[in-house]
Chains A and B, each alone.
Chain A
């Protein structure tokens, strides 16, 4: 009887111990960044399990803030949303670079992200997926649209859509010949820029059909032909291009806006090893190429381009001739105060009738 009890206890202990090496990775990410095929490969190789929660930049920060950085083991906010929220709310923990296989990354992107996400000497993020936002234009009906301010052309009344979020403010400012990024450190100068952009956006309001809020909504509006020009992400344009050759992503003459989504560790994450394992796993060129095929955007993984299908490569080269790549304006880290005054501007534009 006693030996049987010992046996049962041993089995129980073994059963409890076994998962100690295999963690559950709770991943807070964007749609397309963790395809099922990649998760299956990762789970088979490491024994960890992955739980995916889809979100966007603002919600990621809001979720982590609400829990003090708990509830997730790996988050993927854009690199401009790391330093500000970290200084303000302390929701991330530093990355241990010794656990990252840095050889897998494109060196210049890794360095740029490290610089942008350093707070008090500690690095808080490494780059994953990058892309741009610019214009999606139906060339058959709105070939005149080449820059953000062209979205105000009266002949496009009721045929234009864009988001009412900060990229729109930044894009219009650049298009109007202003430089909002240079004014990040100077609230008064930034407010002056915002005031001009606000006046312009209110003036343009009659031309807008609606302010889109979700990717699917935008795709539907463009695909159905209800709108012919939009401000949106490059992948949306390429997706539409696959169905309708007239529609494509166009890098605006004042420069596409470049973003980099990162890997960062929430402050109270419980499965750091699994998180590091995931980062090193998905940055392998072949795996990164699978993510590019799913999400549409390219990654910071060195050498992954070779494995991406030709159609996507062609669309990318079509939208980004070398000069347009050099012209990309990368988002610098956003100071918290800036977001607050931007918010007031956006509310006033939305309320303006």
Chain B
């Protein structure tokens, strides 16, 4: 072995250990757990029963579909809100104001997700700040409940993932030469066609990588749906949590985990195919 190869392996070792010990081995163990069924106290037999349960119980499929659709919606809303913000930061704001705007997007993430979610609860609850303001302004004659519904949950999801959309978008948009946009206008383009023909195609890798991260974060979120969603907000991660912690049914929980992994990979793959992007291009330019 040449010294060069030795140092290559030494440098690679931490990564391999990290992936192997914390990701690959636990996943193999989980896969084995998901492929067995309980027959008697402490006795198990290999079986596909858990996966069959997932595909035959309407409750599980419906919950999964609901979670996936809501996550896609949250991703779309985050993109629609995040794109103009990123464009402003990258192209219109200059110097200090650019840095401070970027910092303002970052600051909420200095406190933990739990605290941020509690903040929303204080704002939205029936005896909360917004309800009080509306009554004070005479716009409502009784307390308004804004918590415990899908809109509150969506608000929380979008707020939580905004940064992860703004960062890759700003980076890709910054790499777009202003001269190209000016050339677009010089050739007779208007604002909309320049956006459609020049800005969006250039920003595509950023859009896709932002969307992938936001989608994954929403799909795997546990706190926001639980705390803001209330009584109708069954999220797929809550199903997994309750199988593991409340019902002691690790077998079904592990199977759910793999179904979530498989389905989310499928959705991301579909998204990449649909937009004609590849993972290498997205990750290479997006970050």
Contacts and interface: CB of A to CB of B under 8 A. Distances in A.
Contact of B248 (A65, A346, A350): A65
A221 to B, nearest CB: 9
B14 interface: no
Interface in A294-353: 336, 339-340, 343-344, 346-348, 350-351, 353
A89 B234 contact: no
A262 B239 CA distance: 29
B171 interface: no
B247 A340 contact: yes
Given A211-B230, A224-B126, A351 B59 contact: yes
A270 interface: no
A61 B232 contact: no
Given A224-B127, A225-B127, A226-B125, A209 B249 contact: no
A336 B231 contact: no
Given A88-B41, A348-B59, A340 B148 contact: no
Mostly, the A contact residues are helix
A81 B204 CA distance: 54
A336 B41 contact: yes
A347 B234 contact: yes
Among B226, B243, B246, B249: residue with most chain A CB under 10 A = B246
Contacts of A165: 246
Interface in B198-251: 226, 230-232, 234, 238-239, 242-250
Interface in B230-285: 230-232, 234, 238-239, 242-250
Contacts of A158: 145
B4 interface: no
B42 interface: yes
A353 B232 contact: yes
A214 to B, nearest CB: 10
Contacts of B143: 226
Contacts of A353: 232
Nearest to A166: B246
A226 B127 contact: yes
A268 interface: no
Contacts of A205: 231
- Report the interface size class on chain B: 20 to 34
Contact of A351 (B63, B147, B230): B63
Contacts of A284: none
Among A209, A226, A350: residue with most chain B CB under 10 A = A350
Interface string A252-282: 0000000000000000000000000000000
Contacts of B249: 340, 343
Contacts of A58: 245-246, 248
A131 interface: no
A213 B247 contact: no
B226 A213 contact: yes
A35 interface: no
A62 interface: yes
B62 A85 contact: no
Contact of A336 (B239, B248, B250): B248
A237 to B, nearest CB: 20
A103 interface: no
Contacts of B238: 350
A61 B244 CA distance: 10
A211 B232 CA distance: 9
Contacts of B234: 347, 350-351
Given A87-B41, A224-B127, A210 B231 contact: yes
A339 B247 contact: yes
Nearest to A225: B127
A59 interface: yes
B193 to A, nearest CB: 43
B246 A89 contact: no
A270 B234 CA distance: 40
A211 B231 contact: yes
A47 interface: no
Contact of A59 (B59, B63, B232, B245): B245
A262 B248 CA distance: 20
A208 interface: yes
Given A89-B42, A90-B42, A226-B127, A350 B247 contact: no
B248 A210 contact: no
Given A158-B145, A226-B127, A88 B42 contact: yes
Nearest to B43: A88
B41 A226 contact: no
Contact of B59 (A61, A208, A209, A347): A347
Contacts of A225: 127
Interface in B53-95: 59, 62-63
5 contacts: A208-B231, A209-B145, A336-B248, A347-B63, A347-B239
